[in-house]
Amino acid sequence: MQTKLSVSIICLNEADIIGQCLQQAARVADEIVVVDSGSTDNTIEIAKSHGARVIHQDWLGYGKQKNFALDQCTHEWILSLDADEVLTDALIEEIEQLDFESEVVGYRVARKLFVGDRFVVWGGYYPDYQLRLFRNSLGRFNDLAVHESVQLPAKAEIRNLKNPLDHFSYESLEQMDAAFHKFAQLSTKKRNPILNPFRAVFNFFYTFFNKYLIRLGFLHGAMGLRLAWIHSKYSFFKYIYRI
């Protein structure tokens, strides 16, 4: 891989996991830019120990914060990671073999979600492709407060990479439930005081049916049931808040 690559990461109090993220990212990165929004643990010290350039920026919202991080990067190709995402060895080898001079302008990466030490396969959680590797001059995150995503030109050639990264997002289902409640409050779904209660109820039952039955969440047993419940509540509350 001759083309230089910047890795951008936003974080806040990620001392428990960011070291693993940076250790693997450093194997493909020519520079690592970490944008911190006010960590009070050892996140900044850990990031610097892995050679990252750490920049403070007060929280702007997920999309805007990630765009700020992109603006601090000096190379054309960007690998945008969350602090709880860890590149697998197979993915690193695949990135190292990419032809960055081709007409492809972006690559999606599959994510393996872990709740605690358990890999969540069923229920629609895998492969969960996300556009993570792209040309900085063409890609920007939308400005959504939550569930932001990279936007590239309509006719841009984008491909999926074969190997996944590990996503250590939640230590427990209780932590996941609390996070999704916060996401519902941050959701920017259009609010209609007349239709939203009906849409909320419909989305609750549809999400549960889809996650637990159609996407085989029941194969995870009790955990699959709780995951379907958490997502169903999220689908309900994102239309109820701020009516």
Classify strands 130-135 and 118-119 as parallel, antiparallel or unpaired: unpaired
Q: Examine the domain organization and report whether 30 and 142 are in the same domain.
A: yes
Q: 125, 146, 169 — which closes off a domain?
A: 169
Specify the pLDDT at position 136: 96
Q: Which tokens sit at 186?
A: 């941050």
Better-predicted residue by pLDDT, 140 or 198: 140
Alpha-carbon distance of 24 to 81, in angstroms, equals 11
Q: Examine the domain organization and report whether 13 and 99 are in the same domain.
A: yes
**Mean pLDDT across the stretch 49-65?**
96
CATH of the domain at 60: 3.90.550.10
Query: Which long-range CB contacts under 8 A does 56-65 form with residues at least 24 apart?
Result: 59/12, 61/143, 61/144, 61/145, 61/146, 62/10, 62/141, 62/144, 62/145, 62/146, 62/147, 62/148, 63/141, 63/142, 63/143, 63/144, 63/145, 63/148, 64/141, 64/143, 65/10, 65/35, 65/37
Domain count, the chain: 2
pLDDT above 70 coverage of the chain, percent? 95
Q: Examine the domain organization and report whether 179 and 146 are in the same domain.
A: no
Q: Which strands form 130-135's sheet, in the order they lie side by side? A: 53-56, 31-36, 5-11, 77-82, 130-135, 104-109, 157-160
Local confidence band at 194 (pLDDT 50, 70, 90 cut-offs): low
Q: Examine the domain organization and report whether 91 and 146 are in the same domain.
A: yes
On average, the pLDDT of the chain sits at: 93
Q: Examine the domain organization and report whether 49 and 69 are in the same domain.
A: yes
Q: Examine the domain organization and report whether 149 and 235 are in the same domain.
A: no
Q: How many CB atoms lie within 10 A of CB 154?
A: 5
pLDDT higher than threshold 80 for residue 49: yes
Specify the pLDDT at position 113: 97
pLDDT higher than threshold 70 for residue 195: no
Local confidence band at 238 (pLDDT 50, 70, 90 cut-offs): confident
Closest CA to 98 of 141, 133, 136: 133
Q: Examine the domain organization and report whether 41 and 161 are in the same domain.
A: yes
Q: What residues contact residue 140 under an 8 Å CB cut-off, 6+ apart?
A: 67, 70, 150, 151
Q: Examine the domain organization and report whether 58 and 105 are in the same domain.
A: yes
Q: Examine the domain organization and report whether 164 and 192 are in the same domain.
A: no
pLDDT higher than threshold 60 for residue 22: yes
Q: How many CB atoms lie within 10 A of CB 110?
A: 18
pLDDT higher than threshold 60 for residue 191: no
Q: Examine the domain organization and report whether 180 and 69 are in the same domain.
A: no
Closest CA to 117 of 17, 219, 232, 10: 17
The whole domain housing 213 covers 173-240
Q: What is the pTM of this model?
A: 0.89
Q: 150, 169, 188 — which closes off a domain?
A: 169
**Mean pLDDT across the stretch 198-207?**
92
Q: 146, 169, 192 — which closes off a domain?
A: 169
Q: Examine the domain organization and report whether 144 and 194 are in the same domain.
A: no
Q: Examine the domain organization and report whether 114 and 14 are in the same domain.
A: yes
pLDDT tens digits along 134-184: 999 999 999 877 789 999 999 999 999 999 999 999 999 999 999 999 888
Whether 129 and 160 have beta carbons less than 8 Å apart is answered as yes
**Mean pLDDT across the stretch 184-195?**
63
Q: How far is CA 236 from CA 6, 21, 192, 194, 231, in A?
A: 38, 33, 14, 15, 9
